[in-house]
């Protein structure tokens, strides 16, 4: 599904919809150019889950931030500085991925081979007008019964 977002209010509304409707996995990967809005999207998701907004920030240097929500821990990862699957395994990525808790992963490419379970791919595109197109799909995509 592709959504067009023009304002932060629309993005916040979308995050509530995502949490209500996209329930087949708690793992979400976020892909897009620098400045596309990946961290902002994750912040709104975390706020919608009840995390303290003052605690939510980019885990660029810490790699993983853990936030508390009414539904349990929420893990926010930024794998931009991770150079290999071995580095991801060294910081314990599998424990986060298979915890059953929400995992929001920015710059996920290096860890994709580890995801042998369903997850949501969120791809953010910035239009020249400044609006965002946000494409969300379940990976692997489930075949539709006809």
Sign of the CA dihedral with 40 first, then 45, 46, and 47 last: positive
| Segments in the chain below pLDDT 50 | 143-146
Query: Which pLDDT belongs to residue 141?
Result: 61
Q: Looking at residue 54, what is its pLDDT? A: 75
What CATH number belongs to 2-139?
Answer: 3.40.50.300
User: Over the chain, what is the mean pLDDT?
Assistant: 90
Q: CA-CA distance, 30 to 145, in Å (whole number)?
A: 28
* Helical (H) or strand (E) element with 30: strand 27-31
Beta 132-139 vs 119-126: how paired, if at all? antiparallel
For 58-113, the DSSP string reads --TTTSEEEEEETTEEEEEEE-TT--SHHHHHHTTHHHHHTSSSEEEEES-GGGGG
Q: Are 103 and 29 in contact (CB under 8 A)?
A: no
């Amino acid at each position: 599904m592709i959504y067009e977002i023009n304002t932060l209010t629309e993005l916040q509304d979308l995050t509530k919809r995502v949490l209500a409707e996209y329930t087949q996995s708690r793992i979400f990967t976020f892909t897009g150019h620098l400045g596309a809005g990946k961290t902002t999207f994750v912040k709104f998701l975390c706020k919608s889950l009840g995390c303290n907004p003052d605690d939510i920030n980019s885990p660029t240097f810490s790699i993983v931030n853990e936030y508390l929500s009414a539904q349990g821990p929420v893990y926010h990862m930024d794998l931009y500085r991770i150079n290999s699957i071995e580095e991801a395994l060294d910081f314990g990525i599998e424990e986060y991925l298979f915890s059953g808790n929400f995992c929001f992963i920015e710059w996920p490419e290096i860890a994709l081979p580890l995801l042998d379970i369903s997850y949501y791919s969120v791809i953010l595109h910035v239009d020249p007008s400044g609006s965002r197109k946000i494409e969300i799909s379940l990976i692997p995509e489930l075949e539709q019964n006809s």
